[in-house]
Structure 1
Amino acid sequence: MALAAHDATDRVDQLIILTERLTELLVEECQAFERRRPQDIAGQVEETQRLANLYRHESARVRANPAMVSEAPAPLRQKLMRATEAFDAVLARHGRALQAAKAVTEGLVRAIAEEVAAQRTSTSAYGPGATQSAAAAATAITLNKRA
């Protein structure tokens, strides 16, 4: 999918709208991750992915052919640059939020796996010479994606 622009001004206008909307969506995602409620943004994941792909495609096209936007008025191109700078800042924040959520999730999974392994240790006899069997290897667990 590509933008259907009539001229450079129209293309820059559309790129500004696209960049600002994508920035808004990423801010909402960051806030949800920071509140530890990623499920709050589940309904917008598809739109975010679609717009991110369109942004990636269009920015590659403009990078390959700067003439696509060079004819647009300078104030409009400046606005696009400011929108892109804001998007880059939010993108960095989003990356940090995702990294933090990943670390928490991995820690929880590790703690659950260790607890399951510890509970599987059993004694094989009673009395003073009783021994514990070696802990069984941890097995996979299934997580509910909606949780």
Structure 2
Amino acid sequence: MALAAEDAEDRVGQLIVLTERLTELIAAQCQAFENRRPQDAAAQMDETSRLANLYRHESTRVRADPDLVAGAAREQRLRLVRATEAFDAVLARQGRAIVAAKTVTEGLVRAIAEEVAGQRHQAAGYGPGARMTGQAAHTATAITLNQTA
């Protein structure tokens, strides 16, 4: 997918609109993560993904051929630069929010796993005289066999 621009001025205008909309969507996602409501971030995920792909595609095209935007008015190009700077700032914020959410999630998973492991009783020793005690004597455990070894 690509922008259908008539000239450099039109392309820059469309890039500004695209960048500002993507900035709004990602800022809303950041807010959702910061409010510990990641499910709210998922609501606009399709549009965000579609626009992010378009943004990636168009920014690659402009980097490869700066003449695509060179003919636009200086003021218009400066608006695009400001929109891009705002977008970069929101991306940095999103990165911090995602890392924080990931850290919390991993901590919860680790705490749950430790609690489950702590509630299981282990076998007392190895060998023919080893005995299992408590709940472990009645609990089945999974065994994985590697038949290629």
Tell me the TM-score range normalised by the shorter chain.
0.7 to 0.9
Q: Which residue of 2 aligns with 1:9?
A: 9
Q: Deviations over 1:22-55 (max 9, x none)?
A: 0000100000000000111222001111111110
The residue type equivalent to 2:113 in the other structure is A
* Cα distance between partner residues in 2 of 1:59 and 1:17: 14
TM-superposition CA deviations, 1:71-125 (whole Å, max 9, x none): 000000000000000000000000000000000000000000110111112687x
Q: Read off the aligned partner of 2:120 and give its amino acid letter.
A: R
Q: 2:121 aligned with 1:121, yes or no? A: yes
User: Structure 2, unaligned stretches of length 5 or more?
Assistant: 125-131, 142-149
Separation of aligned partners in 1, 2:122 and 2:88: 54
Aligned residue runs from structure 1 range 50-69, under 5 A = 50-69=50-69
Unaligned 5+ runs, structure 1: 125-129, 138-147
Match of 1:83 in 2: 83
Q: Partners in 1 of 2:123 and 2:91 — Cα distance?
A: 52
**In the alignment, is the contact (CA less than 8 A) between 2:121 and 2:133 conserved in 1?**
no
The residue number in structure 1 matching 2:45 is: 45
- Name the CA distance, whole Å, in 2 between partners of 1:44 and 1:94: 15
Q: CA RMSD in A?
A: 2.2
- Give the alignment's TM-score, normalised by structure 2: 0.82
Q: CA deviation at 1:10?
A: 0.5
- Structure 1 residue runs of 4 or more that deviate by more than 3 Å after TM superposition: 130-133
CA distance in structure 2 between the aligned counterparts of 1:131 and 1:35, rounded to whole angstroms? 46
Q: Output the CA distance in 2 between the equivalents of 1:116 and 1:49.
A: 37
> Contact 2:33–2:41 at 8 Å: present in 1 too?
no
